[in-house]
Structure 1
Amino acid sequence: MFLINEILDMAVQFEKNGEKIYREAADKVSDPMLSALLAWMADEESHHATYFSRLKQKHPDSGNHSFSRELSREMLDEILGDRGFSLEDVDFSNIADQNDMIRTFIEFEKDTILFYEMLTPFIEDPAAKRMLETIINEENRHVERLTVFLGSETAHPAFSDC
């Protein structure tokens, strides 16, 4: 049902939604360290959106799938829109420390992975399935990278500017 470009559109939209929520939260959080961490995570989401956009450029639309594309676009708008799933309910001003903030980031990344995994049965094209696996692997690497900072004595890279 979903084509490579449609899957990449979803990935870009997830990243943009996360970036927007993190940037808005960074402006509202009073702790400069947590604000820096949110701004760093917004940048991470922006980099991911750029990465997925570049992947899309490497996979031009193959054929005339206007009905499928329109249906998928409507589903994408309905499902994602400007939502951030688990981030929508987070009151970032109540997060007290770096580890809690990073756990929130990890939860959002895991939610996106779960969403992509739920799409798998609806993808028939082998190339599209491989692309979905690439996206899931990239999100898993992001979770691993964030997990390194939990409870770490090492200062998070976001704090270098504070």
Structure 2
Amino acid sequence: MFTIDDIREIAIQIEKNGEQAYRRAAAAADQPEIAALFTRMADDEREHAEWFSSIRSNRHLSGDELELEQMGRRLLQEMVANQTFSLDQQELRQVRDVEDSLEQSRIFEEDTALFYEFLHSMIEDVEVKSHLEVIIAEERRHAEQIAELADSDPVGL
């Protein structure tokens, strides 16, 4: 069982990681089109983190539910630790070129969307599910925008 608190804390960290990485990538980008894309994506990630921060649960858990919640928290932490959606700052610094940076970012967005889809299936609150669907769509749109930019080869990537 996953609680809203578990989901919120992990999602906030994912979004903060993304925002920081995209802001650094925007500052380092030589091409204005790429810098603008990374800046927009950083702004979106910040908004996602703000929304996740606003989620609160008033539900009190029974003893059995608390035990399940602890197991769920450990499972989520293990899942996040082994995934690329941390968008590791060192990995971004080590990229050889813009193409690598764009590819890492695309993978990050796809992994994040998949993770949120997994969480979506475990959430009961209709309003939370609905807003999470919007965020999933934005993460997917980010991946598509990155792929389109890489495919368009605007500056000879």
Q: How many residues align?
A: 141
Give the corresponding residue for 2:124. Answer: 126
Asked whether 1:77 is paired with 2:80, we answer no
Distance 1:2 1:30, change over 3 A: closer
Structure 1: gaps spanning 5 or more residues: 152-162
Q: Deviations over 1:69-125 (max 9, x none)?
A: 4333333433325964384455655115xxx84x7655433221212333466x3x6
User: What is the root-mean-square deviation in Å for CA atoms of aligned residues?
Assistant: 3.7
Give the corresponding residue for 1:31. Answer: 30
Q: Deviations over 1:32-78 (max 9, x none)?
A: 52334323322221111001212x1xx32411354344333333433
Q: 2:26 aligns to what SS in structure 1?
A: helix
> CA–CA distance in 1 between the matches of 2:119 and 2:109?
16
Which structure ranks higher in relative contact order (CA pairs < 8 Å, sequence separation ≥ 6)?
1
Asked whether 1:12 is paired with 2:12, we answer yes
> CA–CA distance in 1 between the matches of 2:120 and 2:40?
30
Q: How many percent identity over aligned positions? A: 29
> CA–CA distance in 1 between the matches of 2:29 and 2:138?
30
Contact 1:15/1:49 (<8 A) preserved: yes
> CA–CA distance in 1 between the matches of 2:26 and 2:142?
21
With normalisation by structure 1, the TM-score equals 0.60
Distance 1:94 1:83, change over 3 A: same
> CA–CA distance in 2 between the matches of 1:3 and 1:141?
23
Give the corresponding residue for 2:47. Answer: 47
Shift of 1:10: 2.8
Distance 1:130 1:36, change over 3 A: closer
Contact 2:84/2:107 (<8 A) preserved: no
Structure 2: gaps spanning 5 or more residues: 150-157
Spell out the pairing of 1:45-124 with structure 2 (5 A cutoff): 45-54=45-54, 56=55, 59-64=56-61, 65-81=65-81, 84-85=84-85, 87-88=87-88, 94-95=97-98, 101=102, 105-119=105-119, 123=122
